[in-house]
Amino acid sequence: MVLPPPSISDVSLLIDRGQHRGCRAAILSVLSGLIWPLQATVVAWAIGGLLVGDEPAALLAALSFGGLGICRAGLSYLADADAQAAAEVDIAKLRSEIVATEAGRASDSTFGGAGSIAALASEKLELLGPYVSRYGPARARVTVLPLVILALAFWHSWAVGIVLLISGPLIPLFMALVGMAAKQVSARQMVEIGTLNDFLVERLFALVDIRLLGAAPRVLEGFSGQAGDLRRRTVAVLGVAFLSSTVLELFAAIGVAMVAVYVGFSLLGALQFGAWGAPLTPEAGLFL
C-alpha cells in the first residue's frame, strides 16, 4: 500500500527554510510590475496629446517607453534568475534530507516502497521547481499590483474603480475553487506515480520467479492497466488546468469589457458620470 504524499502545507514548511533567498526575487518582480503603469502613462500621454491637437515630443515618448521597457525586462530577468536559483537550492536540500532520512530508517517509510521513494526524490521533487520559483514572486505581485492599479483607476474615474473593485476579486475566488479541485486530482496522480514505481520495482526483483512461473503475460497486463490509470489521471490534471485558464480569461475579459464600454461612451459624450467633476479626458481614457 502506498501512503499519500506529504501535503502542500507540509512541503511549504520545508521550503520556508530557504524562503529568504526568494525575497529578493519577489521584490524585483513587484518592481518590474510597477513599471507597467508608467509605460501606460507614457503611451496615454503621447496618443492623448495627438487626439486633442497637442503634439507631444514623440522622440521623448519613444525613449521613455523604451527605457522603461528595458528596465522592466532587466528586473524580470533578475527576478527569474534569483527565483530559479532559490528553487534549485531548496530542491537539492529536500532531496538530501529525504535520502538521509530514508537511508537511516529502520521501520517502514511513510512515503511507501522503494519505487515511491525513488519517484519522490527524482521526478516529484522536480515538479516543485515551478512552485518554488513562481509562486513566491506571483504572490508578491498579486498582493501589491492590484491595489496600485485599483488606486490609479479610482484616481481617474470612480466608476472604473468600482467596476474593477467588483470584478477583480471574482478572479482569485473562482481560481481558488478550481485550485481546490486541481489539488485533489494532482494528489491522486502523485499517488498513482508512486504505485506504478513500486509495482515496477517489485516485479523487477521477482523477474526470475515470473519467468519460471510463466506469469509474464499477466504481469504485463497488470502493468498496462496501471499505466492506463496514470494516463487517465494525468489527462484529468490537464483538464483542470485548462478549466483554470478558462476561468481566468473569462472574468478578466468581463472586467476589461466593462471598462472599455464605459470609457468609449464617456469619450463620445454619451455618459456624463464616473469622473471626478470634469469629463473623462482622452489621456485618462487611454490609460484606463
CA distance 56 to 6: 59
Residue 55 and residue 167 share a domain: no
Contact status, residue 5 vs residue 190, Cβ threshold 8 Å: yes
Residue 3 and residue 86 share a domain: yes
Nearest to 180, CA basis, from 110, 243, 131:
243
Residue 1 and residue 130 share a domain: yes
| Boundary (domain end) residue, out of 101, 123, 156 | 156
CA distance 238 to 186: 9
Residue 10 and residue 152 share a domain: yes
Q: Which CATH number does the domain housing residue 190 bear?
A: 1.20.1560.10
CA distance 209 to 196: 20
Average pLDDT, the chain: 74
Residue 61 and residue 34 share a domain: yes
| Boundary (domain end) residue, out of 156, 182, 197 | 156
Find the mean pLDDT for residues 161-182.
Answer: 78
Kindly report the length of the chain. Answer: 288
Q: Which residue has the higher pLDDT, 79 or 95?
A: 79
Residue 181 and residue 246 share a domain: yes
Is residue 199 over pLDDT 80? no
Is residue 142 over pLDDT 80? yes
Q: Where in the sequence is the domain holding 60, given as residue range(s)?
A: 1-156
Residue 185 and residue 136 share a domain: no
pLDDT digit string, tens, across residues 34-84: 998 898 888 888 887 777 666 667 778 888 888 888 999 998 888 888 888
How many domains would you assign to the chain? 2
Q: Which residues pair with 157 in a beta bridge?
A: 275
Q: Is the pTM of this model over 0.85?
A: no
| Boundary (domain end) residue, out of 137, 156, 175 | 156
